[in-house]
Structure 1
Amino acid sequence: MTNTLFERLGGTNGISNIVDDTVENHMNNPEVNARFLPFKNKPDHLAIIKQHTIDFFSAGSGGDAKYKGKDMITAHTGMNISSTEYMHVMDDIFTALDKNNIDEVSKKDVLAILWSLKGMIISK
């Protein structure tokens, strides 16, 4: 039997670590950090965003979490995220996956998910 992507990412704890590392990468990335640095002064809001991200990815990768946040279009409408910014965000995610020793097959699965979300996020 093949493990789900959720299991291959380390379950809830693994995904939580990946999300934490990704957010840290975004805050240190000059191409996208203007969108993330304001949340350093809003730790309660940042915690909610992180939890939504953990739940979203857990639910979408085979875990039993229930995502209760906004759909991707609603969540990103008005942000006018460019294709370049989206690619930088993807790079930050893959840096976090590498840091957490995620295997190549799982990284390809993550890439497929991220690519499927692109149209719901860019230029909304």
Structure 2
Amino acid sequence: MNTPTTTLYDRLGRRDGIARITRALIQNHLANPLVSNRYAQIQDMDRLERNVIDFFCAGAGGPEAYAGKDMLATHRGMNISEQEFVAVIDDAMAALVSCGIEPPVRNEVLAILWSMKGEVIRV
């Protein structure tokens, strides 16, 4: 299945796989002392989860539509530090590992996450 014609969406397990990864990611954030305070303040965790799943699915080539704010609008004014950004990426990589995602696919996700750095850190 891991042929050049499969999408990242397929390689991550489609919506069900991405939902599983997202739930692991949010749990990792809540347990991470570097970023847990930002997530503990979220009023509607179900909405956050749905938005992250839709964002991740759409960005990975799935059919889902993402109707939330873009990365810059989401993070503007939060004053996210480089250390927090790296902590979030570390949490994402740990979620991918715990969900059984293979190293080449994890590296692909890592590259995408790093590409968003300018839309997240100190914006």
Aligned amino acid, residue 110 of structure 1: V
What is residue 81 of structure 1 aligned with on the other side? 80
What is residue 11 of structure 1 aligned with on the other side? 14
CA distance in 1, matches of 2:85, 2:92: 11
Aligned-residue offset at 1:38: 2.4
Aligned-residue offset at 1:11: 0.5
Identity %: 43
TM-score calculated relative to the size of structure 2: 0.94
CA distance in 2, matches of 1:18, 1:118: 20
Which secondary structure state, in structure 2, belongs to the residue aligned with residue 65 of structure 1? coil
1:64-108 deviation line (CA, Å, top 9, x unaligned): 000000011111111100010000000001110000000111111
For 1:1-124, list aligned pairs within 5 A: 1=3, 2-39=5-42, 42=43, 45-124=44-123
Structure 2, unmatched stretches of 5+, are none
Aligned amino acid, residue 17 of structure 1: R
Q: Which is helix-richer, 1 or 2?
A: 1
Aligned-residue offset at 1:115: 0.8
Aligned-residue offset at 1:116: 0.9
| Displaced runs of 4 or more, over 6 A | none
Aligned residues: 120
Aligned-residue offset at 1:112: 1.1
TM-score calculated relative to the size of structure 1: 0.93
Q: Kindly report the root-mean-square deviation, in angstroms, between the aligned alpha carbons of the 2 structures.
A: 0.9
CA distance in 2, matches of 1:117, 1:30: 22
